Amino acid sequence: MPHASAGGLRLFYETHGEGEPLLLLPGLGADHHLFDLQREAFARQHRLILVDNRDAGASDEADSPYGIAEMAQDALAAVDAAGATRFHVLGVSMGGAIAQQLALQAPDRVASLVLASTWGRTDPFLRAVLEGWRLMIARLAPEDFLAAQAPWLFSARFLASPAPEVVALQHAMRERGWPRSAAAFGRQLEACMGHDALALLPILQTPTLVLVGEDDILTPPRYGRAVAAMLGRAELGLLLGAGHACLLETSKPFAERVLRFFARR
């Protein structure tokens, strides 16, 4: 398995497809399989670089706290190991926070950005949610924690009639041992709580698409609007009827919207 090195850690990555490089950054606790429902469509037009963040998937667990900026350096190390000089980026949730920091650290290398279900600054509301998750993961078995998260991740419409492919993806997550550990999840969670890039975003002139789920209650549309307003070259896209996990709930429209945006770049 290919690995990159950053901060003394081995970071798993893999590549698929041909074309302009596209870096895919998963969210809190998730590994690169988060993009399984879009991988085939994306790989038809791009060379995908899929990364497992530190403390998730097949990457190493950290032995000390870190921030989103360090996770962005990890992602850059994976891109370098994959041999990509200039690339597009799609980051989801925490992956969107990492993408913001990555673009700030290497603005000349990021051709364009898609930031989905994400935020620019952790406010008291989001902090309270994440603190609640910290308490839950310390007390619940992994399968119970995943069930407890569901109302924050999915819309009421989706929970009433979940798509079989998403149920299968969640089952596969549990089979792979999600989350890696309560401690690993907690370190990623701490990194999320420290994220604050909002005031720096006007520096960027990177073409950006900000995607938000209409019914996202974890990172409500107001977060996406705030990020888009601070960026110099951003458009905002609303995915109707979708929750925080809009890339799973509306997997095909999500992929189509992302690919149309990158094609214009």
Residue 4: name the closest of 52, 66, 64, 43 by CA: 52
The per-residue pLDDT for range 17-42, each reduced to its tens digit, is: 999 999 999 999 999 999 999 999 99
Structure tokens, 212: 């938000």
What's the pLDDT score for residue 133? 96
| Secondary structure (3-state) at 31 | coil
Tracing tokens 């189509």 back to the chain, one arrives at: 256
What's the pLDDT score for residue 1? 75
- Reported pTM: 0.97
The per-residue pLDDT for range 84-94, each reduced to its tens digit, is: 999 999 999 99
Residue 201: name the closest of 130, 119, 92, 127 by CA: 119
Neighbouring C-beta atoms of residue 11, cutoff 10 Å: 24
On the question of pLDDT at 132 being above 90, the answer is yes
DSSP notation for 87-99: EEEEEETHHHHHH
Domains of the chain, earliest start first: 3-264 (3.40.50.1820)
Whole-number Å distance between alpha carbons of 192 and 82:
26
